Chain A
Amino acid sequence: AQSVTQLDSQVPVFEEAPVELRCNYSSSVSVYLFWYVQYPNQGLQLLLKYLSGSTLVKGINGFEAEFNKSQTSFHLRKPSVHISDTAEYFCAVRKGAQKLVFGQGTRLTINP
């Protein structure tokens, strides 16, 4: 069965510092991976997705993620964070035809 593990429930970083949010998946078949962001009191917004092709995927707001099949990981990175990046970040894997299975979420807190 496909599942997703986000290793960190909370990640505090200083503004302009780099950040990496970790995500590992388990799947026995081809994977489609996603990162969604949830800003306070808002819905889920797609940051980026990996379907096939280049393992380095660039998304919105300066985020990128790298699909690593050997390590079954899809970590999210940003070289320099801003206060406005404070949010909950969810890694997800597609299961079946269309359903998404989400990880537990990582709360990113940016300190000035």
Chain B
Amino acid sequence: EPEVTQTPSHQVTQMGQEVILRCVPISNHLYFYWYRQILGQKVEFLVSFYNNEISEKSEIFDDQFSVERPDGSNFTLKIRSTKLEDSAMYFCASSEGQAGGPNTGELFFGEGSRLTVL
């Protein structure tokens, strides 16, 4: 069964360092997302990506964050200068993007990348 894969599963970094989290979405999906979950809190939307550009972003997704689809398979989240409060589990997700289809709105999530900023 196709799945979304994320690497690394856990990354520890020093405050101020750049971090890149990688995701391989399901191959025929058209929409890609990043969500984050700070420990003990709810899952929060960061950004959605379609047709090689950001389609929507939250107020959390400030200039420190960027996303890229560098090739036909990877989808990355970059945090330029990490802060302590960036420590969280980051989830990548993808969806078919066919509104009204049988999988309308269903997002398929990866297992997450845990980022710890020291």
CA distance A34 to B95 in the complex (A): 14
Contacts known (A44-B91, A96-B56); A102 close to B112, Cβ less than 8 A: no
Q: How many residues of A contact B (CB 8 A)?
A: 22
Residues of A within 8 A of B (CB): 32, 34, 36, 42-46, 49, 51, 90, 94, 96-105
Write out the residue numbers on chain A whose beta carbons fall within 8 Å of the beta carbon of B93: 44
B91 touches A43 (CB 8 A): yes
Decide if B107 is an interface residue (CB 8 Å cutoff).
yes
Contact of B33 among A99, A101, A104 (CB under 8 A): A99
Q: Tell me how far the C-beta of B39 lies from the nearest C-beta in chain A, rounded to whole angstroms.
A: 12
Contacts known (A43-B111, A90-B42); A51 close to B104, Cβ less than 8 A: yes
Contact of B48 among A42, A98, A105 (CB under 8 A): A98
Known contacts A46-B108, A98-B99; 14 additional CB pairs below 8 A are A34-B106, A43-B91, A43-B109, A44-B93, A49-B106, A51-B104, A90-B42, A94-B104, A97-B99, A99-B33, A101-B45, A102-B42, A102-B45, A104-B41
Contact of B42 among A49, A94, A103 (CB under 8 A): A103
CA distance A94 to B33 in the complex (A): 13
B42 touches A98 (CB 8 A): no
A-B contact pairs, 27 of them (CB 8 A): A32-B104, A34-B105, A34-B106, A42-B112, A43-B110, A43-B111, A44-B93, A45-B109, A46-B106, A46-B107, A46-B108, A49-B105, A90-B42, A90-B43, A94-B104, A97-B99, A98-B31, A98-B99, A98-B105, A99-B33, A100-B105, A101-B45, A102-B44, A102-B45, A103-B42, A104-B42, A105-B42
Q: How large is the interface on B (under 10, 10 to 19, 20 to 34, 35 or more residues)?
A: 20 to 34
Contacts known (A98-B97, A104-B42); A51 close to B109, Cβ less than 8 A: no
Decide if B27 is an interface residue (CB 8 Å cutoff).
no
Decide if B73 is an interface residue (CB 8 Å cutoff).
no
Write out the residue numbers on chain B whose beta carbons fall within 8 Å of the beta carbon of A43: 91, 109-112
Tell me the nearest residue of chain A to B40, going by C-beta: A105
